[in-house]
Amino acid sequence: MNTQPAQSIAANFQQLWTQTMRPGLLNNLVDLITRASGRERTNFAVRAPAVDEPIVEVPACTQEDVILALNRARKAQQEWAESPVRERKQIVLRLHDLILQRQETMLDLLQMETGKARRDALEEVLDVAQACRHYAFRAESYLQPKWRKGALPLLTRTWELRHPIGVVGFISPWNYPLTLTLSDAIPAMLAGNAVVVKPDSQAPLAALLGLQWLREAGLPGDVLQVVTGPGADLAKPLIAGVDYICFTGSTTTGRSIARQAGENLIGCSLELGGKNPMLVLHDADIDRAVHGALRGCFANAGQLCISCERLFLQDPVYDRFLHQFIKRTSNLKIGPEKNFDVGMGSLISRGQLDKVDAHVRDAVRKGAVILAGGRARPDLGPFFYEPTILARVTQEMRVWQEETFGPVVSVCPFGDIEEALRMANDSPFGLNASIWTRDVRQGQRLAVRMRCGTVNINGAYAAAWGSVDAPMGGMKASGIGRRHGVEGFARFTESQTIAQQNLIPVGPWPFVKAGFYARVMTAALRLLRHIPGLR
Ligand code: NAD
């Protein structure tokens, strides 16, 4: 493990950033934030968690700024919606290329503002490219009018249209600040909407760099607006002015967003917290499962909504799995360096570190045992915490009940599968699950019984998340609505049905007695039930 003194790491760190960040880059990014002119305003500092040093000052936007952003977006939206989908597609594909070409700059920025390891930052870059490609090549077909069966065969012609919904608001968290703004905003914009994004105050820079590159790729100036500042202040005017709100964050805030969306009668999607289970069955490939659990539990220092915080191990493999898992967890390289060898970076803030530490201390006080980690690493940076494995965790412990959102996993043995399923499903959350077995049919049978929006068989989370063609989201307190796939696109559209009636109306016919109409319609419906293609 890294034992370099914190001071020299901080010095190295800063030198590295000044080398890689082009002069003026950060100030240019701040200039992209929507601000009403001519008034005094306060700023807040975005800090680099790895060293807890300020990076740049960002304006705390006001209600007035949000209204300006909404007005600009609404004005730009009409022309944008009238632009050919082909043109929107080309812009998104250019962003795809830019983000892959210039990934080093984005990785540096992501590492700097979140403290995450480079390999975790890379997941964001790849994810955005994936979303760009997927939706760019499908938007046209998703938006095409679709023929639907009419009320009366041959006499009614019915088709379904998909219109852009208007202006879509995004409120996003700090943990994947690029992915959780851009990957969702891309389908919204391809559908012909304008977008107003409110990133988290701790990490607003990656979304701004994404916006800069989108503009370079050809996005008209006002189609995407960014406002920065405290969610509690900005959400109200934002939700009051948009036609749909897309929120990713904690379940507590999600409930408040849902209430406001309800009040304003607009649609919303809520991507919320998780307490995700991983099941390792007796016949699992242990090497693969341990590798999967390392990523599943400690990717992004556990600050990942779909990461695994409860690990259920079947009795015959409990010791063997745990032996390897403890060894590899203890050897995981943690630190702030800018290379892909580092397994885990810093937590985002003092608050996050305190929460993780409080969960571990509460568990230990109530009888849990630390098998690996279990302490902060101020020698590496102010918010580093070791990847931690806990055993003998019980239901009274916070770490069992609540989402920790940190690098802490509780292991629990089980004998029979039914018992494991019951424990895994015994949670208010239902976001993601992982099952490891060589018997993939058994894995599939178990997967459908998991009350989670995504289930990975012989994978931790990346297989389901990366399947952008399929819906992704939470059951129970983990959310409402889905990102990805056709659902992740359709939520940003308003459907419209147009039906054209030819020759005779649906309903009693003129010049014919109502009784005759009733007999003909009854006979017709009886017949239709038996005609393939018309029923
Ligand atoms: P959070 O709810 O505190 O903040 C998320 C966003 O909401 C931020 O932009 C914040 O400024 C804003 N916000 C905060 N208070 C608000 C309020 N009262 N009204 C309106 N907006 C407000 O969440 P967080 O702690 O930053 O993020 C971590 C949580 O997000 C975890 O629970 C995690 O599981 C969840 N998450 C879920 C997904 C998913 O896809 N399901 C993805 C990432 C994170």
CATH number (domain holding residue 193): 3.40.605.10
Report the nearest-CA residue for atom 17 of ligand 1: 232
Q: Is the pLDDT of residue 124 over 60?
A: yes
Same domain, residue pair 47 and 187? yes
Question: How many CA atoms does the CB half-sphere of 77 hold within 13 Å?
Answer: 23
Q: What is the largest CA-CA distance in the chain?
A: 95
Same domain, residue pair 187 and 154? yes
Compute the average pLDDT of residues 30-44. 89
Q: pLDDT over 90 for what percent of the chain?
A: 92
Q: Which residues line ligand 1 (CB under 6 A)?
A: 171-175, 180, 198, 200-201, 231-232, 235, 248-250, 253, 256-257, 271-274, 305, 403, 405, 431, 474, 479
pLDDT score, position 41: 79
Report the nearest-CA residue for atom 18 of ligand 1: 232
Model confidence at 114, pLDDT cuts 50, 70, 90, reads very high
| 305 flagged as catalytic | yes
CATH code of the domain covering residue 337: 3.40.309.10
Same domain, residue pair 325 and 233? no
Residue 483 lies in a domain: no
Q: How many domains does the chain have?
A: 2
Q: Is the pLDDT of residue 19 over 80?
A: no
Tokens of 211: 């916006």
Q: How many Å lie between the centroid of ligand 1 and the Cα of residue 474?
A: 14
Choose, from 271, 309, 337, 403, the residue flagged as catalytic: 271
Residue 535 lies in a domain: no
Q: How many Å lie between the centroid of ligand 1 and the Cα of residue 239?
A: 15
Same domain, residue pair 223 and 285? no
Global pTM reads 0.95
Yes or no: say if 129 and 459 are a contact pair by the CB < 8 Å rule. no
Q: What is the mean pLDDT of the chain?
A: 95
Query: In this predicted model, what pLDDT tens digit does every residue of 424-464 receive, in sequence order?
Result: 999 999 999 999 999 999 999 999 999 999 999 999 999 99
Compute the average pLDDT of residues 388-404. 97
Same domain, residue pair 247 and 317? no
pLDDT score, position 3: 46
Residue 108 lies in a domain: yes
Q: How many Å lie between the centroid of ligand 1 and the Cα of residue 181?
A: 12
Model confidence at 40, pLDDT cuts 50, 70, 90, reads confident
Model confidence at 365, pLDDT cuts 50, 70, 90, reads very high
| Residue 237 belongs to domain spanning | 36-271
Q: Which atom of ligand 1 is nearest to the CA of 172?
A: 9
pLDDT score, position 349: 98
Question: Residue written as tokens 């940003």?
Answer: 492
Residue 214 lies in a domain: yes
Q: How many Å lie between the centroid of ligand 1 and the Cα of residue 344?
A: 22
Same domain, residue pair 165 and 245? yes
Percentages helix, strand, coil for the chain, rounded to the nearest 5? 45, 20, 35
Same domain, residue pair 60 and 160? yes
Q: Is the pLDDT of residue 2 over 60?
A: no
Same domain, residue pair 161 and 219? yes
Instruction: Answer with the one of 271, 299, 330 that is the final residue of a domain.
Output: 271
Q: How many Å lie between the centroid of ligand 1 and the Cα of residue 55?
A: 22
Yes or no: say if 373 and 385 are a contact pair by the CB < 8 Å rule. yes
Q: Which of 44, 116, 175 to mutate to test the pocket of ligand 1 (most atoms within 8 A of CB)?
A: 175
Report the nearest-CA residue for atom 35 of ligand 1: 249
pLDDT score, position 24: 81
Q: Which atom of ligand 1 is nearest to the CA of 252?
A: 2
Q: Which atom of ligand 1 is nearest to the CA of 198?
A: 9
Same domain, residue pair 265 and 312? no
Compute the average pLDDT of residues 141-151. 97
Tokens of 31: 């200039």
Query: In this predicted model, what pLDDT tens digit does every residue of 296-344 receive, in sequence order?
Result: 999 999 999 999 999 999 999 999 999 999 999 999 999 999 999 999 9
| 412 flagged as catalytic | no
Query: In this predicted model, what pLDDT tens digit does every residue of 42-88 receive, in sequence order?
Result: 999 999 999 999 989 999 999 999 999 999 999 999 999 999 999 99
Model confidence at 14, pLDDT cuts 50, 70, 90, reads low
Model confidence at 25, pLDDT cuts 50, 70, 90, reads confident
Report the nearest-CA residue for atom 40 of ligand 1: 271
Instruction: Answer with the one of 467, 497, 524 that is the final residue of a domain.
Output: 467
Sign of CA dihedral 483, 488, 492, 494: negative
Same domain, residue pair 261 and 289? no
Query: In this predicted model, what pLDDT tens digit does every residue of 460-478 receive, in sequence order?
Result: 999 999 999 999 999 999 9
Q: Is the pLDDT of residue 9 over 60?
A: no
Query: In this predicted model, what pLDDT tens digit does every residue of 258-293 receive, in sequence order?
Result: 999 999 999 999 999 999 999 999 999 999 999 999
Residue 29 lies in a domain: no
Other Cβ atoms closer than 10 A to 103: 18
Same domain, residue pair 76 and 180? yes
Q: How many Å lie between the centroid of ligand 1 and the Cα of residue 321?
A: 34
Residue 11 lies in a domain: no
How far, in Å, CA of 288 to CA of 508, rounded? Answer: 67
- What H or E segment, with its residue span, contains residue 312? strand 308-314
Same domain, residue pair 114 and 203? yes
Instruction: Answer with the one of 220, 243, 271 that is the final residue of a domain.
Output: 271
